[in-house]
Amino acid sequence: MNLAQILFSQGFGTRRECEVLALRGSIRIAGRVVDDPAARIDAEGLVLDVDGESWPVHAKALVMLHKPAGFECSQRPSHHPSVMSLLPAPLRRRGVQPVGRLDTDTTGLLLLTDDGALIHRLTSPKKHVEKVYEVETDEPVTQRQIDALLRGVVLRDDPQPVRAAACVQTEPRALRMTLREGKYHQVKRMLAAAGNGVIGLHRSRFGALELPPDLMPGQWRWLGSAHEVLGPAVR
Protein backbone atom coordinates (compact mmCIF):
# COMPACT_ATOMS: atom_id res chain seq x y z
CA MET A 1 0.00 0.00 0.00
CA ASN A 2 1.10 3.56 -0.45
CA LEU A 3 1.28 5.94 2.51
CA ALA A 4 -1.94 7.81 1.70
CA GLN A 5 -3.84 4.52 1.43
CA ILE A 6 -2.53 3.39 4.81
CA LEU A 7 -3.53 6.67 6.44
CA PHE A 8 -6.98 6.44 4.86
CA SER A 9 -7.44 2.86 6.11
CA GLN A 10 -6.60 3.99 9.64
CA GLY A 11 -9.20 6.75 9.69
CA PHE A 12 -7.05 9.83 9.26
CA GLY A 13 -9.48 11.52 6.89
CA THR A 14 -10.52 11.48 3.26
CA ARG A 15 -8.05 10.31 0.64
CA ARG A 16 -7.18 13.92 -0.16
CA GLU A 17 -6.79 14.82 3.51
CA CYS A 18 -4.43 11.87 3.94
CA GLU A 19 -2.35 13.01 0.99
CA VAL A 20 -2.09 16.51 2.49
CA LEU A 21 -1.16 15.05 5.88
CA ALA A 22 1.80 13.34 4.28
CA LEU A 23 2.78 16.29 2.06
CA ARG A 24 3.03 18.67 5.03
CA GLY A 25 5.58 16.37 6.71
CA SER A 26 3.33 15.14 9.52
CA ILE A 27 4.29 11.48 9.14
CA ARG A 28 7.40 9.83 10.49
CA ILE A 29 8.33 6.18 10.17
CA ALA A 30 11.20 4.89 12.30
CA GLY A 31 12.13 8.49 13.06
CA ARG A 32 12.30 9.58 9.41
CA VAL A 33 9.84 11.99 7.79
CA VAL A 34 7.97 10.44 4.87
CA ASP A 35 6.27 13.20 2.88
CA ASP A 36 5.48 11.32 -0.33
CA PRO A 37 1.85 10.14 -0.25
CA ALA A 38 2.62 7.61 -2.99
CA ALA A 39 5.55 6.01 -1.15
CA ARG A 40 5.08 2.24 -1.11
CA ILE A 41 5.22 0.92 2.45
CA ASP A 42 4.76 -2.50 4.02
CA ALA A 43 1.91 -2.09 6.50
CA GLU A 44 2.69 -5.32 8.39
CA GLY A 45 3.79 -4.37 11.91
CA LEU A 46 4.02 -0.70 10.91
CA VAL A 47 3.95 2.01 13.57
CA LEU A 48 3.35 5.52 12.30
CA ASP A 49 4.20 8.75 14.06
CA VAL A 50 1.42 11.18 13.14
CA ASP A 51 2.05 14.72 14.37
CA GLY A 52 4.05 13.30 17.26
CA GLU A 53 1.50 10.63 18.20
CA SER A 54 2.39 6.95 17.85
CA TRP A 55 -0.17 4.97 15.83
CA PRO A 56 0.20 1.20 15.27
CA VAL A 57 -1.34 0.14 11.97
CA HIS A 58 -4.03 -2.53 12.26
CA ALA A 59 -6.05 -3.96 9.40
CA LYS A 60 -8.88 -4.33 11.92
CA ALA A 61 -9.06 -2.16 15.03
CA LEU A 62 -9.63 -3.79 18.42
CA VAL A 63 -9.42 -1.71 21.58
CA MET A 64 -10.52 -1.98 25.18
CA LEU A 65 -12.02 0.91 27.08
CA HIS A 66 -12.56 1.36 30.80
CA LYS A 67 -16.10 2.67 30.52
CA PRO A 68 -17.03 5.25 33.17
CA ALA A 69 -20.57 5.76 34.40
CA GLY A 70 -22.67 8.33 32.56
CA PHE A 71 -21.84 7.26 29.00
CA GLU A 72 -24.06 5.45 26.51
CA CYS A 73 -22.83 2.59 24.32
CA SER A 74 -24.46 4.10 21.26
CA GLN A 75 -23.41 5.93 18.13
CA ARG A 76 -26.45 8.17 18.61
CA PRO A 77 -26.88 8.71 22.35
CA SER A 78 -30.18 10.07 23.62
CA HIS A 79 -29.51 11.44 27.11
CA HIS A 80 -25.78 11.07 27.85
CA PRO A 81 -22.53 11.37 25.86
CA SER A 82 -21.47 8.39 23.77
CA VAL A 83 -18.52 6.20 24.71
CA MET A 84 -17.28 7.01 21.20
CA SER A 85 -16.41 10.51 22.43
CA LEU A 86 -13.71 8.90 24.61
CA LEU A 87 -11.86 7.59 21.53
CA PRO A 88 -9.59 9.50 19.12
CA ALA A 89 -11.07 10.72 15.85
CA PRO A 90 -9.34 8.13 13.60
CA LEU A 91 -10.99 5.25 15.49
CA ARG A 92 -14.37 6.94 15.27
CA ARG A 93 -13.93 7.60 11.53
CA ARG A 94 -13.07 4.01 10.72
CA GLY A 95 -16.31 2.83 12.30
CA VAL A 96 -15.42 0.98 15.47
CA GLN A 97 -18.45 0.01 17.54
CA PRO A 98 -18.99 -1.52 20.98
CA VAL A 99 -19.01 -5.30 21.28
CA GLY A 100 -22.32 -5.60 23.10
CA ARG A 101 -23.44 -2.85 25.45
CA LEU A 102 -23.07 -1.74 29.02
CA ASP A 103 -25.85 0.29 30.66
CA THR A 104 -25.25 3.99 31.15
CA ASP A 105 -24.58 3.55 34.88
CA THR A 106 -22.47 0.39 34.42
CA THR A 107 -18.69 0.70 34.44
CA GLY A 108 -15.82 -1.52 33.37
CA LEU A 109 -14.39 -3.39 30.43
CA LEU A 110 -15.84 -2.52 27.02
CA LEU A 111 -14.43 -3.80 23.74
CA LEU A 112 -14.75 -1.86 20.49
CA THR A 113 -13.85 -3.02 16.99
CA ASP A 114 -14.56 -2.52 13.29
CA ASP A 115 -14.39 -6.28 12.70
CA GLY A 116 -17.97 -7.44 12.16
CA ALA A 117 -17.06 -11.14 12.20
CA LEU A 118 -15.34 -10.73 15.55
CA ILE A 119 -18.34 -8.90 17.01
CA HIS A 120 -20.54 -11.83 16.00
CA ARG A 121 -18.10 -14.35 17.44
CA LEU A 122 -17.87 -12.52 20.77
CA THR A 123 -21.59 -11.87 21.17
CA SER A 124 -23.13 -15.10 19.82
CA PRO A 125 -24.70 -17.16 22.65
CA LYS A 126 -23.44 -20.29 20.88
CA LYS A 127 -19.81 -19.31 21.53
CA HIS A 128 -20.18 -19.21 25.35
CA VAL A 129 -17.91 -16.20 25.83
CA GLU A 130 -17.94 -15.42 29.53
CA LYS A 131 -18.43 -11.94 30.99
CA VAL A 132 -17.73 -11.36 34.67
CA TYR A 133 -19.54 -8.67 36.66
CA GLU A 134 -18.90 -7.24 40.10
CA VAL A 135 -22.33 -6.54 41.56
CA GLU A 136 -23.14 -4.28 44.51
CA THR A 137 -26.56 -5.24 45.84
CA ASP A 138 -29.31 -3.30 47.54
CA GLU A 139 -29.84 -5.89 50.28
CA PRO A 140 -27.51 -8.45 51.89
CA VAL A 141 -26.86 -11.42 49.62
CA THR A 142 -28.36 -14.73 50.75
CA GLN A 143 -27.42 -18.27 49.81
CA ARG A 144 -30.96 -18.75 48.54
CA GLN A 145 -30.43 -15.91 46.05
CA ILE A 146 -27.11 -17.34 44.88
CA ASP A 147 -28.69 -20.78 44.44
CA ALA A 148 -31.53 -19.24 42.42
CA LEU A 149 -29.11 -17.39 40.13
CA LEU A 150 -27.11 -20.58 39.53
CA ARG A 151 -30.22 -22.70 39.03
CA GLY A 152 -31.89 -20.18 36.74
CA VAL A 153 -34.48 -17.44 37.15
CA VAL A 154 -37.38 -16.50 34.88
CA LEU A 155 -37.38 -12.91 33.68
CA ARG A 156 -40.62 -11.03 33.26
CA ASP A 157 -40.66 -11.02 29.46
CA ASP A 158 -38.78 -14.27 28.81
CA PRO A 159 -40.31 -17.66 29.62
CA GLN A 160 -36.99 -19.46 29.37
CA PRO A 161 -34.96 -19.47 32.63
CA VAL A 162 -31.59 -17.74 32.50
CA ARG A 163 -28.81 -18.70 34.86
CA ALA A 164 -25.40 -17.54 35.90
CA ALA A 165 -22.43 -19.68 34.83
CA ALA A 166 -20.87 -18.84 38.21
CA CYS A 167 -21.88 -16.73 41.19
CA VAL A 168 -20.01 -16.15 44.45
CA GLN A 169 -20.57 -13.73 47.30
CA THR A 170 -17.64 -11.31 47.72
CA GLU A 171 -19.04 -9.01 50.43
CA PRO A 172 -22.21 -8.99 52.54
CA ARG A 173 -23.85 -6.83 49.84
CA ALA A 174 -21.78 -7.83 46.81
CA LEU A 175 -21.28 -10.77 44.51
CA ARG A 176 -19.33 -11.75 41.41
CA MET A 177 -21.46 -13.18 38.63
CA THR A 178 -20.39 -14.81 35.36
CA LEU A 179 -22.71 -14.83 32.33
CA ARG A 180 -22.45 -16.48 28.93
CA GLU A 181 -25.18 -14.49 27.21
CA GLY A 182 -26.12 -10.85 26.95
CA LYS A 183 -29.76 -9.95 27.41
CA TYR A 184 -31.05 -6.42 27.98
CA HIS A 185 -30.34 -5.30 31.60
CA GLN A 186 -29.66 -8.96 32.33
CA VAL A 187 -27.77 -8.70 35.62
CA LYS A 188 -30.25 -6.23 37.10
CA ARG A 189 -33.25 -8.27 35.98
CA MET A 190 -31.76 -11.52 37.27
CA LEU A 191 -31.08 -10.01 40.69
CA ALA A 192 -34.59 -8.62 40.82
CA ALA A 193 -36.00 -12.06 39.95
CA ALA A 194 -33.87 -13.57 42.73
CA GLY A 195 -35.24 -11.09 45.27
CA ASN A 196 -32.55 -8.41 45.44
CA GLY A 197 -31.54 -5.22 43.63
CA VAL A 198 -28.46 -3.79 41.95
CA ILE A 199 -27.02 -0.44 43.05
CA GLY A 200 -23.62 -0.81 41.40
CA LEU A 201 -22.42 -2.84 38.41
CA HIS A 202 -18.91 -3.23 36.98
CA ARG A 203 -17.65 -5.60 34.27
CA SER A 204 -14.22 -6.90 35.22
CA ARG A 205 -13.63 -9.52 32.54
CA PHE A 206 -14.65 -10.27 28.96
CA GLY A 207 -13.62 -13.72 27.72
CA ALA A 208 -10.00 -14.26 28.71
CA LEU A 209 -9.32 -10.54 29.07
CA GLU A 210 -9.38 -8.85 32.46
CA LEU A 211 -9.61 -5.10 32.91
CA PRO A 212 -6.07 -3.96 33.75
CA PRO A 213 -5.81 -2.19 37.12
CA ASP A 214 -3.77 0.63 35.56
CA LEU A 215 -6.40 1.46 32.91
CA MET A 216 -8.32 4.30 34.49
CA PRO A 217 -11.98 5.17 33.78
CA GLY A 218 -12.23 6.86 30.39
CA GLN A 219 -8.91 5.48 29.15
CA TRP A 220 -8.53 3.10 26.20
CA ARG A 221 -5.81 0.79 24.94
CA TRP A 222 -5.02 -1.19 21.79
CA LEU A 223 -5.26 -4.97 21.88
CA GLY A 224 -2.71 -6.88 19.87
CA SER A 225 -5.14 -9.49 18.59
CA ALA A 226 -8.47 -11.15 19.25
CA HIS A 227 -6.64 -14.01 20.98
CA GLU A 228 -6.26 -11.76 24.03
CA VAL A 229 -10.04 -11.91 24.37
CA LEU A 230 -10.86 -15.32 22.98
CA GLY A 231 -8.27 -17.39 24.82
CA PRO A 232 -9.73 -20.72 25.91
CA ALA A 233 -13.15 -19.15 26.60
CA VAL A 234 -14.62 -19.76 23.14
CA ARG A 235 -15.50 -23.33 22.28
Q: Both 200 and 136 in a single domain?
A: yes
What value does the mean pLDDT of the chain take? 92
Q: Using one digit for the tens of pLDDT, what is the confidence trace for 86-97?
A: 999 999 999 999
Could you give the number of structural domains in the chain? 3
The distance in angstroms from the start CA to the end CA of the chain is: 36
Pick the closest to residue 94 from 52, 55, 47 (CA basis). 55
45 domain residue, yes or no = yes
Q: Using one digit for the tens of pLDDT, what is the confidence trace for 96-154?
A: 999 988 999 999 999 999 999 999 999 887 788 999 999 999 999 999 999 999 999 99
Q: Both 187 and 77 in a single domain?
A: no
Contacts of 165 (CB under 8 A, 6+ apart): 130, 178, 179, 180
235 domain residue, yes or no = no
- State the Cα–Cα distance between residues 106 and 104, nearest whole angstrom: 6
Q: Both 201 and 134 in a single domain?
A: yes
Beta-carbon-side half-sphere exposure of residue 106 (alpha carbons within 13 Å): 23
Q: Both 141 and 199 in a single domain?
A: yes
The strand pairing partners of 110, in sequence order, are 65
110 domain residue, yes or no = yes
17 domain residue, yes or no = yes
Q: Both 196 and 212 in a single domain?
A: no
Nearest 10 degrees: CA dihedral of 100, 104, 108, 114? Answer: 40
Q: How many of the other CB atoms lie within 10 Å of CB of 30?
A: 9
State the CATH number of the domain containing residue 173.
Answer: 3.30.70.1560
Catalytic site includes residue 158:
no
Q: Which domain holds residue 104?
A: 62-125+208-230
Contacts of 223 (CB under 8 A, 6+ apart): 62, 63, 64, 111, 209, 229
- State yes or no: pLDDT of 209 exceeds 90: yes
State the CATH number of the domain containing residue 85.
Answer: 3.30.70.580
State the CATH number of the domain containing residue 11.
Answer: 3.10.290.10
- Alpha helices, DSSP H, located in 68-168: 89-93, 116-123, 143-151
- State yes or no: pLDDT of 227 exceeds 90: no
Beta strands in the chain (DSSP E): 27-29, 32-33, 47-50, 53-56, 62-67, 97-98, 107-113, 131-137, 153-155, 158-162, 166-171, 174-179, 198-206, 209-210, 220-222
Q: Using one digit for the tens of pLDDT, what is the confidence trace for 157-184?
A: 778 899 999 999 999 999 999 999 888 8
Q: Both 80 and 196 in a single domain?
A: no
179 domain residue, yes or no = yes
Greatest extent of the chain over all pairs of C-alpha atoms, in Å: 68
Contact 180, 126 (CB under 8 A): no
Pick the closest to residue 60 from 38, 37, 76, 43 (CA basis). 43
Q: Which of 35, 49, 103, 105 is an active site residue? A: 103
Threshold 0.95, pTM exceeds: no
